[in-house]
Amino acid sequence: MKKTVIITGAARGIGRATAELFAAHHCNVLINYHRSVDAAQQLYHSLTEQGLSVELFKADVTRRPEVEAMVAFCQQRFGQIDLLINNAGIAQSRLFIDLTDEDWQTMINTNLTAVFYCTQAVLRRMIPQKKGKTINIASIWGQVGASCEVHYSAAKAWLIGLTKALAKEVGPSNIQVNCIAPGIIETAMLTPYNAEEKAVLKEQTPLERFGTPEEVAACALFLASDAADFITGQVIGVNGGFVV
């Protein structure tokens, strides 16, 4: 039977590559987007033209009612929810002493609280079916910290903690909870870095290049597969050796 996956922030970047890969592997894919309306519609058309099973849902994942509506829509449209990929996220580069309350709150709401909302909503369906997997997209900065990205690093470190604790709690319900911690991946998230900063980041990466969204998606596809049924509570690095 086809598996159904919800992917947050899936109109562009890592989420988009993940949606394309899961759809190509014959999953029902719920593509969540928030601001990228045109990109979401373009992705929807390109996948449905290939005969793949996808739906779009616009929701701000920092708002619980919108998340609840998205999960209910997915359940009603596809009949079940097997997988959740918490990918939506934001980054911001700013000195810690300059961070405003709003900077802090927006970062934590988007990168952490949204995962709380989405995961709670799907677990209410997964626990009774005694099967399911959730995958959280964290970051190397949650493992080792990044200067001028303290709030981002803190949110991703909390996400790693959430992953480990929740994996223990829902393991008896046969639900796997894992984390991918990407290194530097070529997406719009790199736009704020100038050429010099990018060169330094490349130098710090033993494989001497940035990763692609497709490489992160490939790891998610493995973690979502039955081959990964005995893997839970783990942080899998897709980072070119940046963190070993």
- Which window, 86-94, 97-105, 118-126, 171-179, contacts ligand NAP (CB under 6 A)? 86-94
Q: What's the closest the beta carbon of residue 11 comes to ligand NAP, in angstroms?
A: 5
Does residue number 201 form part of the binding site for ligand NAP (CB under 6 A)? no
Q: Which residue among 54, 107, 182, 223 contacts ligand NAP (CB under 6 A)?
A: 182
Enumerate residues 117-146 that contact ligand NAP by CB under 6 A.
Answer: 137, 139
Q: How far is the CB of 228 from ligand NAP (least distance, A)?
A: 19
In angstroms, what CA-CA distances link 110 with 11, 104, 106?
16, 10, 6
Q: Is 33 a catalytic residue?
A: no
Minimum CB separation from ligand NAP for residue 98, in Å?
A: 21
Choose the stretch contacting ligand NAP; rule: CB under 6 A; options: 48-56, 83-91, 95-103, 167-175: 83-91
Strand partners, 33: 58
Round to whole Å and give the CA distance between 59 and 119: 15
Q: Rule CB under 6 A: which of 93-122 touch ligand NAP?
A: 110
Q: Which of 87, 90, 18 is nearest to 54 (CA)?
A: 18
Query: Is the CB of 32 or the CB of 178 nearer to ligand NAP?
Result: 32
Work out the widest C-alpha separation in the chain, in whole angstroms.
Answer: 52
Helix axes 13-24, 37-49, angle to 10 degrees: 20
Residue placing its CB nearer to ligand NAP in the complex, 155 or 170: 155
Catalytic residue of the set 33, 44, 117, 152: 152
Residue among 60 and 68 whose Cβ is closer to ligand NAP: 60
Stretch that binds ligand NAP, among 42-50, 97-105, 164-172, 178-186 (CB under 6 A): 178-186
C-alpha span between 58 and 115 (Å, rounded): 16
- 214 makes contact with ligand NAP (CB under 6 A): no
Question: Is the CB of 87 or the CB of 134 nearer to ligand NAP?
Answer: 87
Choose between 99 and 127: whose C-beta lies nearer to ligand NAP.
Answer: 99
User: Two tokens at 74?
Assistant: 């997915």
Q: What is the four-CA torsion angle of 118, 20, 156, 200, rounded to 10 degrees?
A: -160
Please check whether residue 217 is in contact with residue 18, taking contact to mean a CB–CB distance below 8 angstroms: yes
Residues marked active site are found at: 152
Binding positions for ligand NAP, rule: CB under 6 A: 8-9, 11-15, 32-36, 60-62, 87-91, 110, 137, 139, 182, 184-185, 187-190
